[in-house]
Structure 1
Amino acid sequence: MSVATTTSASTSSKLESGSGKAVATNPRGIPHAPFIANVEEHVGGPEGDAESTLKQFQEAIAKYQYMEVNLQQRKKGLLTKIPDIEKTLAMVQFLHDRRVGKSKSSQDDEDDLEAEEEDEEEGKKPLTATFELNDTLWAEATLEEESDSVYLWLGANVMLAYTQEEALALLSSKLSAARQNLANAVEDLEFLREQITIMEVNTARCYNWDVKRRREQRDKARLEGRSDEGEKEDGAS
């Protein structure tokens, strides 16, 4: 039996809006992406620097994508970890129920003595289990059912002995925490996809605004050039 207790680092990161103020975050500290309603105002006016704004947007997208990759790895690890804990918990519960059942059967009324003897004969059958030593080698062993101790792998080549009650409490706690972490990871991944989409929309709107501004500036310069040529011709005549 083994239990993985690996913990993943927090993926919280702080992003700042153009005004330098910290933005709101979700329950795990992932910042909301601000939607830029007025691009011209955000970049600093008609002559604002769109290139630096686009660079900031790209950096924000990269940070969100980095957090998304980390959360995907965390989710993958939890999807592997949870079944492992469930199997271990089921085994410890089985051993506990078997031991407790034997204890209770010994306290039954004498009127059921004959039935007890049949149950005892059934209960006296040794409990055997198969253990994986490596990928291709397995070993069969007989378990000491009278023992109240179980040994759990805690990771990093560490094994500790627990009573069955302690093991059940520990595994139940670990399973509950792992399921909650998985739910949080799924929720955060959905949240991150929304924030990435918002930043991509901001990037597209800023880029389109810059293209439109440049076109208008070229058209204005062209009209001013024609006007200057017309004035020169009028002066020459």
Structure 2
Amino acid sequence: MEVEKELSSTIPEAIFLDDVESFMAKPENPSAEVVIRRFDELYKKYKFMEYNLSQKKKRLRDQIPEIQTSLDTVATLQSKQKEGRLITTNYMLSDSVFATADIPHTDSIMLWLGANVMLEYPIEEGAAMLTQNLSTAKGSLTQVQSELDRVKDQITTIEVDMARVYNWDVQERRKVKATATTPSL
């Protein structure tokens, strides 16, 4: 279909209709209703993509501060242990209950991987993994934002195309009505 071409691997590009008259004259476009229906299907796909990308963006925005906090905690743990000091900290036991703990010198940390999986890593390896995860999450956020912007552009284009085809159809109906009501001499 000429209405769309591939913009990226996942987002079809909506083609702006410069000349609605010639577009509607093509055999694959029998009527404005059919074309508008096709545009509407494409519009719904774009809106679905926009919703999914927005959700992914929200998850990444929530994930990045968590990773950064974990990385900061590991850095603090490393610096305090290099000084040879015992670390005393407060931690959340439950929603409004905190406890105090003394953390002895340790060479490893425990990291949640997700799906109720926790693994023990040497401190340096855990810090490297968290740094890599933070970098990956920031890169993913940039890519998702770029794709979201592209989808929004496609939504705007398809909305304009739908309006132009609708307006063309209204003009065509007026022409037909005018010729039908004009008395012949």
TM-score normalized by the length of structure 1: 0.72
Hey, what does 1:128 align to over in structure 2? Answer: 88
Amino acid at match of 1:74: K
Alignment partner of 1:151: what SS? strand
- Take 1:203 and 1:143, find their aligned partners in 2: how far apart are those partners? 64
The secondary structure found in structure 1 opposite 2:13 is coil
Gaps of 5+ in 2: none
Identity %: 38
Q: Which has the higher strand share?
A: 2
Deviation digits for residues 87-126 of structure 1, max 9, x if unmatched?
A: 1001112222333x34xxxxxxxxxxxxxxxxxxxx44x2
- 1:69 counterpart residue number: 51
Find the residue that maps to 1:212 and give its secondary structure.
Answer: helix
Could you say which residue in structure 2 is the equivalent of 1:29? Answer: 10
1:9 paired residue number:
none
1:5 is matched with: none
In the alignment, structure 1 residue 51 sits paired with structure 2 residue 10:
no
SS in 2 for 1:23: strand
Query: In 2 relative to 1, CA 55–98 (structure 1 residues): closer, same or farther, beyond 3 Å?
Result: same
The CA deviation at 1:193 is 1.4
SS in 2 for 1:32: strand
Residue 104 of structure 2 corresponds to 144
Taking structure 2 as the reference length, what is the TM-score of the superposition?
0.90
Q: How far apart, in 1, do the equivalents of 2:141 and 2:98 lie? A: 32
For 1:129, the aligned partner's letter is T
The residue type equivalent to 2:14 in the other structure is: A
On the 8 A contact 1:71/1:189 being kept in 2, the answer is yes
For residues 45 and 74 of structure 1, the distance between their equivalents in structure 2, rounded to whole angstroms, comes to 39
Query: 1:40 touches 1:48 (CA, 8 Å); kept in 2?
Result: no
What is the correspondence of 1:206-221 to structure 2 with a 5 Å cutoff? 206-221=165-180
Query: Is 1:41 aligned to residue 22 of structure 2?
Result: yes
**In structure 1, C-alpha distance between the alignment counterparts of 2:15 and 2:35, rounded to whole Å:** 13
Residue 45 of structure 1 and its aligned partner are, at CA, apart by: 5.0
The number of equivalent residue pairs is 184
Shift of 1:40: 2.5
Alignment correspondent of 1:171: 130
CA distance in 2 between partners of 1:154 and 1:45 (Å): 55
Unaligned runs of 5+ in 1: 1-15, 103-122, 231-237
3-state DSSP of counterpart to 1:166: helix
CA distance in 2, matches of 1:173, 1:63: 33
Following superposition, the deviation at residue 23 of structure 1 comes to: 1.2
For residues 154 and 217 of structure 1, the distance between their equivalents in structure 2, rounded to whole angstroms, comes to: 67
Q: 1:36 is matched by which residue type in structure 2?
A: L
The structure with more radius of gyration? 1
Q: Distance in 2 between matches of 1:155 and 1:129?
A: 25
Partner of 2:155: 196
